[in-house]
Amino acid sequence: MQLGITIPLQRFLRLPRPPYGEVDDLFFCWEAHRVTLGGRDVLLLANAGNRFAAAACMQPADWRAWEDVAVEAIRRALAASGLGEREIGAYLFFAGAPEVTRTHGRRPVAFLNVLVDKLLAFPFDADCAFPADLCRFANERLPGKAAMFEGAGLAAERFAQDVRRVGISV
């Protein structure tokens, strides 16, 4: 799984500039960004191909293991959108271990910026580590364009289409 980090997140983490990743399928690539929502530090993730979103409220110590937190946030966002444990496990297996790369192009990063703007006013429980309501809102109520799809659509539906496309779904 490729985690394309934005420049602000790269600077925050004090990481050297990551390499470009070799992309076989954007379905297994995610963009990662740090944003403040509801007064909390949030790791925001968006799938580069279908714009499915995941998020995690971060404590300062969480940033040391942010890649593990990202994978867990993706797992929980998929479950919140109704994907079964079998499909989630298969997706994470085929995605592989997290690999930090540069972002995957202008369109996925532009979506992150749009998502941040829409989520700034979203009231969510800032006391929880995983904001499931925020993820459901982003994936099931915000139609938009995605890099690998024509026209506007919902991210949860597009993720489900990608799951079927790669043969994960039963």
Q: Is the pTM of the predicted complex or chain greater than 0.75? A: yes
Query: Strand pairing partners for 4?
Result: 31, 101
> In this predicted model, what pLDDT tens digit does every residue of 29-61 receive, in sequence order?
999 999 998 888 999 999 999 999 999 999 999
Could you report the per-residue pLDDT of 115-126, keeping only the tens digit for each? 898 888 887 666
CB 16 within 8 A of CB 33: no
